[in-house]
Amino acid sequence: MDVEKTIIPEEKNTALLDELFDVGAHIGYSRSRRHPSMKSFIFGKKNKIDIIDLEKTSAQLVDALDFIKALRAQGKNILFVGTKPEARESIKREAMRVGMPYVTERWIGGLLTNFPQIRKRLDRLAELTTLVKDDAFLVYTKKEQGVLKKELEDLVRKFGGFREITRIPDALFVIDPKHEYISVLEAKQAKIPVVAVLNSDCNVANISYSIVANDSASTTIGYFVSKIAKALEL
């Protein structure tokens, strides 16, 4: 299915810029923390803090949303990744709302590069989930039940956000690729495109669709996560 590229009229672009400013998307880090690849995305500085060029951010956001919409039209899955405390709530809420897998706890190594091994853990999660709901669970002693429940809780914590996936995702949506560097590295190795919200301390290399913006404030993160989720709505 072809998806037309979004063209934003001037008045709508102004509204988008206002939205980005209102949620604090323009706030970068100090110049001393700036990654060299970010130079062209900095509008200026205030009180030694880099101010991000929201004109460029708005254009990047539109491109990213077009890409996400195209994937959705093809029935593809996008894995939401955000393990920073400021990102966890919105990542989990919005991913669940649109039926997408997510990671809000520690990234599980091999999720993209060794999926057959991950699949075994997901199968065990499914097995234990069914077991504890079945009468057969009662044949175990109290101690055995406790051990099995503890194992289940651990698997849910680690794998619960993507327990339904049967293959590796078609793309990643990442909050702060510097913080989530392992997931980005695995995506590169697996040739999976990455859409990322990244601040001035990040390297734009290896990111297929960069959205340069504040990636450390929960309000700003929530704004971008909701935008991506809305693009995935059927």
- Same domain for 181 and 142? no
Q: The domain spanning residue 123 has which CATH number?
A: 1.10.287
Asked if the structure places residue 2 within a domain, the reply is no
Verify that 205 and 90 share a domain, yes or no.
yes
Q: Are residues 152 and 181 in the same domain?
A: no
pLDDT at residue 12, rounded to an integer: 56
Tell me: do 41 and 124 sit in the same domain: no
CB atoms within 10 A of CB 218: 14
Quote the CA–CA distance of 121 and 126 in Å, as a whole number. Answer: 9
Same domain for 73 and 88, yes or no, is yes
| Model pLDDT, residue 121 | 95
Same domain, 75 and 189: yes
Q: Hey, CA dihedral for 13, 44, 63, 187, is it positive or negative? A: negative
Exposure class string for 182-199: b at 16+ Cβ within 10 A, else e: bbbebbbeeebbbbbbbb
How many domains in the chain?
2
**Tens of pLDDT along 161-170?**
999 999 999 9
> In the prediction, which pLDDT does 48 show?
87
Do 183 and 84 sit in the same domain of this protein? Answer: yes
pLDDT score for 8 = 45
Question: For the domain that residue 28 is a member of, what is the CATH number?
Answer: 3.40.50.10490
Q: How far apart are CA 21 and CA 43, in angstroms?
A: 13
**Residue-wise pLDDT tens digits, 133-153:** 888 888 999 999 999 999 999
Last residue of a domain, one of 124, 141, 162: 162
Q: Which domain holds residue 151?
A: 115-162
Residue with tokens 């990040």: 202
Given a cut of 70, the residues of the chain with pLDDT beneath it are 1-12, 234
191 and 142 in one domain? no
Within 13 Å of residue 210, how many CA atoms lie on the same side as its CB? 19
- Domain presence at residue 1: no
Q: Which amino acid is at 6?
A: T
Q: Do residues 127 and 104 touch, judged by C-beta distance below 8 A? A: no
Same domain for 179 and 93: yes
Same domain, 187 and 158: no
What local confidence, expressed as pLDDT, does residue 6 receive? 45
pTM: 0.90
